[in-house]
């Protein structure tokens, strides 16, 4: 399954899939989790725990950190990790979780930008949402390969929630 994931950390994503996280969470929160898997650069000087998030996003993010810790320990044992486990865990950033969750709920782009991390430009948000859509597409394909039609359908539903409006317009100069 991990071979199908190229736009996020394949091992941590696979760990979360097999741990059942994507089955237990509602689709909008799953989109937020994928955002934390694709965002690897955070706010300068801020620890992930210092980022303001809803209780639901904090709980989901904590599960991402646990999966990253499990994978990090295994990678360290195999001498495949050249940073500390804590740094590896902190490389999964929660800054875009609230924004992408709101986007998945159907909130307008203008409103989402009001909750964007300070200093983040619209183009960066658009690229992030497009990357999330790509990961959802990869996860849908992976679930089809492993025979989990229910989860494949859920990822397809999430793609429909994310792939809309100005973010996926062919051109802004029509």
Encoded tokens for 140: 């849908």
Any residues with CB less than 8 A from the CB of 19 and at least 6 apart, and which? 63, 67
CATH 3.40.50.20 for domain 2-168: no
Residues 133 and 21: their CA atoms lie apart, in Å, by: 18
Q: What is the model's pTM? A: 0.91
List pLDDT tens digits, range 117-173: 888 889 899 999 999 999 999 999 999 999 999 999 999 999 999 999 878 877 655
Q: For residue 43, how many other CB atoms are within 10 A of its CB?
A: 16
């Amino acid at each position: 399954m991990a071979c199908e994931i190229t736009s996020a950390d394949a091992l941590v994503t696979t760990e979360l899939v097999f741990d059942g996280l994507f089955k237990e969470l509602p689709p909008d929160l799953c989109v937020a989790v994928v955002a934390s898997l694709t965002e690897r650069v955070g706010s300068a000087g801020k620890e992930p725990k210092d980022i303001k998030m809803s209780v639901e996003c904090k709980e989901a993010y904590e599960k991402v950190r646990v999966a990253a810790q499990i994978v990090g320990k295994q990678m360290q044992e195999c001498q495949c990790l050249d940073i500390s486990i804590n740094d590896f865990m902190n490389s999964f950033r929660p800054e875009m979780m609230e924004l992408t969750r709101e986007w998945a709920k159907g909130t307008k782009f203008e409103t989402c930008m009001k909750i964007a991390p300070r200093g983040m430009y619209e183009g960066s948000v658009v690229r992030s949402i497009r990357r999330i859509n790509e990961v959802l597409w990869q996860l849908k394909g992976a679930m089809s390969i492993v025979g989990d039609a229910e989860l494949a359908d859920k990822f397809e539903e999430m793609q429909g929630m994310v792939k809309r409006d100005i973010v996926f317009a062919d051109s802004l100069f029509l």
